[in-house]
């Protein structure tokens, strides 16, 4: 376990991080679609920037059925068609909700993730593109993990390499970590929860939600992009709010 003990020898209180995932204009030059009425969305990861292992490579092509189904259901072909530049290209499928894993570099953005312990939370959000008359960016929670354990990626056995993007690479990074989440308490949200608004020249968590959650450790709820993921100041208050939303968690990517 990576969590540090306090000066009195006891473990620190519950922690929760808000982690941005999914394709966007900086990583992939596209935003996956969401229907704001139903809050249904398609989870599309960022492109892979390292050489994937040939036997474990995951291509964007496998997302085409989910995007076509979304397009047909919500009559939005032009809004949900995957760019041609991504067809045949490897994707960095992380988090992988099918296996309830999440990987990161434990020396960089994942440094805060590395300090999490069992029962802590990782809340995944993405910048999605609203379809139809209400077009625009929608920052929304798309997944949640209750941490079960964290292991070094280099310690993952070969028969589990296919379970996360950080172990599907030809060369597994020594600083990389893999989070494994609790079954039944973790997964992709079947219906996303919008959390953002344009305020003070940036996308931020709404003021109402910041109050309901007990706040974040970033100025004015800033969520456009950050070097390190924001922490919830009152994780238990946030989690109680989340559970009251009654959103179904599923163990699949789409």
* 7 within domain boundaries: no
Predicted pLDDT at 80: 84
pTM summary value = 0.94
* 2 within domain boundaries: no
* 180 within domain boundaries: yes
8 A C-beta contact, residue 100 and residue 149? no
What Rg, from alpha-carbon coordinates, does the chain have?
18
Domain range for 71:
16-250
Measured distance CA(103)–CA(150) in Å, rounded: 9
77: number of Cβ within 10 Å = 12
User: Rounded to whole angstroms, what are the CA distances from 19 to 180, 213, 250?
Assistant: 15, 16, 18
pLDDT beneath 50, residues of the chain = 1-11
DSSP, collapsed to helix, strand or coil, labels residue 166 as helix
* 71 within domain boundaries: yes
Predicted pLDDT at 79: 77
* 5 within domain boundaries: no
Q: Structural domain tally of the chain?
A: 1
Predicted pLDDT at 133: 62
């Amino acid at each position: 376990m990576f969590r540090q003990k306090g000066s009195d020898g006891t473990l620190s209180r519950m922690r929760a991080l808000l982690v941005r995932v999914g394709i966007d204009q900086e990583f992939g030059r596209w935003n996956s679609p969401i229907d704001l009425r139903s809050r249904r969305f398609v989870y599309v990861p960022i492109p892979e920037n390292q050489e994937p292992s040939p036997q474990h490579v995951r291509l964007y092509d496998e997302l085409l059925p989910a995007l076509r189904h979304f397009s047909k259901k919500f009559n939005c072909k032009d809004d949900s068609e995957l760019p041609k530049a991504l067809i045949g290209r490897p994707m960095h499928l992380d988090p992988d909700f099918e296996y309830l894993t999440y990987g990161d570099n434990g020396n960089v953005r994942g440094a805060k993730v590395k300090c999490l312990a069992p029962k802590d939370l990782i809340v995944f959000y993405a910048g999605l593109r609203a379809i139809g008359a209400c077009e625009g960016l929608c920052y929304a929670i798309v997944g949640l993990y209750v941490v079960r354990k964290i292991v070094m990626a280099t310690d993952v056995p070969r028969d589990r390499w296919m379970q996360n993007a950080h172990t599907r690479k030809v060369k597994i990074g020594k600083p990389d970590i893999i989070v494994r989440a609790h079954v039944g308490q973790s997964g992709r949200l079947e219906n996303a929860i919008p959390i953002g608004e344009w305020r003070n020249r940036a996308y931020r968590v709404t003021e109402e939600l910041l109050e309901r959650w007990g706040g974040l450790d970033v100025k004015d709820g800033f969520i456009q992009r950050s070097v390190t993921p924001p922490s919830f100041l009152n994780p238990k208050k946030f989690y109680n709010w989340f559970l009251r939303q009654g959103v179904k968690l599923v163990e699949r990517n789409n």
